[in-house]
Each structure stands twice: as C-alpha cells, then as structure tokens.
Amino acid sequence: MPLPRVRSMFLPAFLASVLMLAVALYLEWGMALSPCSLCYSQRLFLGGFVLVCFCAVLHLPGPFGTYVYAGLALLFAAAGALIAARHVWLQGASALTLGCQPSMSYFIESMPLSQLLKVMVLGSSECVPINWSFLDLTVPEWSLLAFVLLALLLLVRLFAYRHAVIRRLANN
C-alpha cells in the first residue's frame, strides 16, 4: 500500500485524538476541573486510540495490517463512545442517586482492582455534576461527539481504501 494512503488514514485521526487529550489535560490542570472515574476511562480508551494510530503511522502496514489497525482503533473509539454515552446518561438522569461514594483518588489508592474497574465502567456520584460546558455541550457530550467523529473518520477512509484496493485488483 502506498505510503500516503496509510498516513492519510491514520495521521489525521492521530492528530485529532492527541488534540483531544491535550484539551482534557488543559481542562484538568489549566482550568482546575477534577476528572471523575468515567473521564479517566474515556482518557484510557482515547490513549489506546492514539497508540494504535501512532503505531499504524510508523508501521505503514499492508492491506491486511491496515484493516487490523483500523479495527483496533475502531474498537477503542466504540468503547470510548459507550463510556461517554454512559456519562451523558448519568448527567441527564441527575435525579438518579448512586449513593455517596468516595472520590476516584480514594479508589485508586485503597480499593482492589476489581472495585476500581467497576467504578471506572459504571461511574460514581462524582460523575453526575456538570462542572463545565461549551456551546451548551458538557465535557461528556463533547467526548461522545469526538469519539463518534473519530470512528467516522476512520470508517470513511477505510471504505475509500477498500474501494481503491478492489478497483486496483479488478484492473489487474
């Protein structure tokens, strides 16, 4: 597969996801917003997406490898979108009480890994308040939108690449 095609597929996704991580870190350190457990989970999946796209840009895989990298990246994007959707749902159902739970730092320091993973997937009471919004969208809504757009970017490029490979095989 030609070098520009692989890079045109994974490089924009890599750059967009790195920008998303930079914004998340700015919100935490620059604006002093403390992330909740679902925010950490979303960052974890975004980090996996960044890593897969970075490896794909460096590796320059063939057709099969491109599909493997795209599948892994889409898996991370879908998981991040699911966690972000859960976060949006929790904030929308703010009347729902999860009970008083300790902060995420307490879970990290003193709870077993199984309890930590449960909180990172299901959320906690610190995930419900809306601390910041931009253009009337909260951080989890922006995150959900970004994960969906990253997945769509890869899907559009992947289908265009698939069409080009099929056309090339038909011409031979």
Alpha carbon 5 to chain centroid, angstroms: 23
Question: Count of alpha carbons within 13 Å of 133, Cβ hemisphere only?
Answer: 9
pLDDT of residue 3: 45
Tell me how far apart the alpha carbons of residues 51 and 18 are, in angstroms, rounded to a whole number: 10
Q: Which residues on adjacent β-strands are paired with residue 137? A: 134
Under CATH, to which class is 3-93+103-171 assigned? Answer: mainly alpha
- Tens digit of each residue's pLDDT (9 = 90 or more) over 2-35: 445 556 678 888 888 898 888 888 877 777 777 7
CA–CA distances in Å: residue 110 to residues 25, 40, 54, 102, 156 = 24, 17, 34, 11, 44
Q: Give the pLDDT band (50/70/90) at residue 48.
A: very high
Paired tokens of 92: 């929308």
Listed in sequence order, the DSSP H helices in the chain are 3-25, 37-59, 63-92, 104-110, 113-122, 139-171
pLDDT of residue 75: 92
Q: What is the dihedral of CA 18, 21, 23, 27, to 10 degrees?
A: -170
> pTM of the entire structure?
0.73
- Hey, where are the domains in the chain? 3-93+103-171
Q: What are phi and psi of 137, to 5 degrees?
A: -115, 135
pLDDT of residue 49: 93
Which one-letter amino acid corresponds to residue 134?
F
Tell me how far apart the alpha carbons of residues 44 and 38 are, in angstroms, rounded to a whole number: 10
- Tens digit of each residue's pLDDT (9 = 90 or more) over 114-163: 666 666 655 655 666 566 666 776 777 878 888 898 888 888 777 776 66
Which residue's structure tokens are 């794909």?
56
pLDDT of residue 23: 83
- Tens digit of each residue's pLDDT (9 = 90 or more) over 50-108: 999 899 888 877 777 888 888 899 999 999 998 888 877 777 776 455 555 555 565 66
